[in-house]
Chain A
Amino acid sequence: MTWAIFWQLALGFGAISLVSIGGGIAVLPEMHRLVVEVHGWMDSADFARRFALAQAAPGPNVLVVGLFGWHVGGVGGMLTAVLAMTLPTSFMAFGFSRLRARLAGRMWLKTIERGLVPIAVGLIAASGLILARGTASGWIPVAVTAASTLFVWRTDYSPLWVLGAGAVVGLLLL
């Protein structure tokens, strides 16, 4: 293991983070190019398995880069990849947050903010659909997804209940 690999991780994921607009998962094809095609750190099947593992675990989706980093360089690789993916854009977001506070109340800013709201909600719905499609391997998971949708939409109980129920159904029936 040489330092070169940490540089490659840092530069590779740092560059990808700058073009990840709309969500970390948007740049999955770019990550595949970096990890599988350019550096050959793993094959496509391994890439898909690690992505599935990160999707199944709780936390920000973008943490999948941690698993790629882990595969390449252990704990150091994991931290390098995650920091490269998050730090540069964090400074931008922070700068923007300050600017937003200074411009608070301006009509044009309010208009932009309100105009982006439906896109934010639409993209949440889209990610739900994509997740559902990924798990729909028969009528049981589809029924779980449908029941969970109704439960979360129509009640105010904690969604952790449906996750627990999903886990039980998974263990017994899947």
Chain B
Amino acid sequence: MTDDPPPRPVPTLADLFLTYGKIGLIGFGGINAWARRVLVEEKRWLTDQEYAETLGLGQVLPGPNALNAAIMVGDRFHGTAGAIAAPSAMFGGPLILLAGLAMLYDAYGELPTMRALLAGVGAAAAGMVLGTAAKMTEKLRPPPALLAVGLMAFAAAGILRVPLPLTVFGLAPFGIWAAWRAMRRP
């Protein structure tokens, strides 16, 4: 564990639902960076380490990783009800929005103003995602071997475009080995 702030609040079921609804609706560029921002920084329900562990497990399981993580976070705080509330809020809002966008798209095609606006938002969202990765790395302070595994994951998926299942399962043994070594020598 890297940080140990004062006792962390536990969300009610309604909190969980509303918060995941918010994460879904502001989740430009993908959910994960925003889920970390809201769950770790704003709400303090999870530490950086806990969030990253949950997301890591979400990535080795089949299915969308943000969804898997939402199910695990929901279950952790409110069992079955939480595991249903968190992901349905996360999907519900954006789905309604997307239905609206699809209708607009069918009716008008691509509007130049909309395109320009979304291009700007997209560039900013990309920076949001990159900045989150930098922030997480800084907060987690991984030992060199784990840092190397992270950089390899970044290079494999982001630069070399190795298929994700191969990246995840190819690097997992190295990550686990590095974690095992780090835990033996505290």
Contact = CB atoms under 8 A, between A and B. Distances in A.
Interface of A: 17-26, 49, 53-63, 66-67, 70-71, 75, 78, 82, 85-86, 88-90, 92-94, 96-98, 100-101, 107, 110-132, 134-137, 140-142, 144-154, 156, 158-160, 162-163, 165-171, 173-174
Contacts of A130: 158
B93 A59 contact: yes
B127 A145 contact: yes
Q: Is the interface of A mostly helix, strand, loop or mixed?
A: helix
B175 interface: yes
A105 B83 CA distance: 21
Interface residues of B, number: 104
Nearest to B175: A115
Given A135-B119, A145-B123, 16 more contacts: A19-B165, A22-B157, A58-B24, A58-B25, A59-B93, A70-B99, A90-B68, A97-B76, A115-B176, A115-B177, A115-B180, A119-B150, A122-B154, A124-B129, A125-B134, A149-B128
B59 interface: yes
Contacts of A125: 129-130, 133-134, 150, 154, 158
A130 B180 CA distance: 31
Counting chain B CB atoms within 10 Å of each CB, the highest count among A62, A96, A115, A134 belongs to A115
Contact of A121 (B133, B165, B167): B133
B98 interface: yes
B85 interface: no
Nearest to B168: A22
Counting chain B CB atoms within 10 Å of each CB, the highest count among A97, A120, A131 belongs to A120
24 contacts: A21-B62, A21-B165, A57-B94, A58-B97, A60-B31, A61-B31, A62-B64, A62-B66, A66-B95, A86-B91, A115-B149, A116-B175, A117-B146, A126-B158, A131-B29, A137-B119, A148-B131, A149-B130, A152-B135, A159-B37, A159-B131, A163-B26, A166-B120, A166-B123
A86 B28 contact: no
A30 to B, nearest CB: 11
B118 A56 contact: yes
A35 to B, nearest CB: 15
A163 B28 contact: yes
B117 A171 contact: yes
B179 interface: yes
A44 B61 CA distance: 29
A134 B58 CA distance: 25
Contacts of A97: 71-72, 75-76, 83
Nearest to A89: B63
Given A89-B62, A117-B146, A59 B98 contact: yes
A174 B119 CA distance: 7
Interface in B127-186: 127-138, 140, 142, 146-147, 149-154, 156-159, 163-165, 167-169, 171-172, 174-180, 182-183
